[in-house]
Structure 1
């Protein structure tokens, strides 16, 4: 079709839906051809019960991969048409078991010739194609179970947006951005403390002039985030990763990770033994980010911050 040639793979859902409708419409006509009285949507439930055993709706739903409400609706329809009967489980009176009625079992016996004809028709169709659709469906089902199409699109979106992020060194004209980004996120969860004010309002004197570094993240030529490497006097760690903040409008674009990685690369290139940080466990995305960067929980360091309830470290030692 010209439409699908123009849209390409973006319209995969629409194209599969058309194919499904085509097959389903044909299935309805095939059922009429063999006079079995079944509707195509009943088939999974019918087939699951065709062994003659009574089963719960929950068990059927689990076996055929449908939701409980969907199976419940189908069972009601099939019951009204005399194909299914429902009764209490003798072993557990709290459960209802559904099974094929005598009419349903008669259909199950007579439908075998239809199964043979349909299977042969599909095998003939597959033999005329260059690609085995049945095997392809199995592969797609497996791959989408491992990672959904939504997650795959999210990953592509993140990769594309990462390309727009540029990590640059701090310059005096970014002083206001450095302060405002940090004050915004600190105020959202905690209170701004004296140690914050010293670092945020005098970054040159309190961070850079003391041997530290500040990094800024640009996204679409706008300041989107920042973080600092603060020089510390410690036997294990030479720097503290601090003052990391990302603008609310820029979150979800891996900016925090890229800032952290740039800071760690700088620390390692300078010959540092390791990097230390302080945080709070209510900041779950931040803690997850630090673990992703390679930090592990440590204890025993003094902190000037009331909000700190977790300390983490990353060692560069071989």
Structure 2
């Protein structure tokens, strides 16, 4: 439809609307929230105001009286709303949330917060032309599953060892990160490691973990991290390296990166490594904040980095005071 420009504006907006309603309803269904996506404006309005008449709801939401009357009748039948008749004028009545409606709106609140984050990410762009902006929004909304992205933020995340079914996600997540931050500094070494984690990391003594939300049909992978042992340095430190820390953009800010990094740190300590290192870039402010918080300290590169994009080298000592010789 895009080829016909503004002549299909209504159809394109309806397509977006229909798609979003379906996705939101899927989220509500997965979270066992007993409301319809189409009910939300009325439920939210009554949650904030307490009670209103059908006419007042229609005026506040800029909807037709018949449309609101039809919706609220359904909501009363589903026990989401209660109707109260005015004692002074039997012709007047008001609507308010029932106990079920109040409970549903409380349960849906964390879902709405995560949905807001995803939708704001999808709509954060600038364009002077509305039709160009609409095309970008269509690409964001229609190309992926809003429901899966929201559920990835809501559901419990497990950190598990990489298996064959996770390898594509390992490649895709890390390549998406490279293309976003360093599109002109992706080299053959990157592609080789990402395409063959079993051969390039695991068979060489390393470990790869992925952060997953388990569903009935598959694992939804939202993050990755890798560990590899290094040769001992001049001080005979048993060294390891963490790398390929990547979190899906829609899942960022939910503690996934911290969970992955904590897993790698705990593993390194349990395996007797005394020093853990990593390379990063000074432009990655959030990553630097994470590493600082977890005790990594910036130092001089012991050897030149294999990656032109890496301009920061950091180390974390894994030797606790209780591990040292008390003498």
Q: State TM-score, norm by structure 2.
A: 0.47
Greater gyration radius: 1
Larger RCO (CA within 8 A; separation ≥ 6): 2
Q: State TM-score, norm by structure 1.
A: 0.49
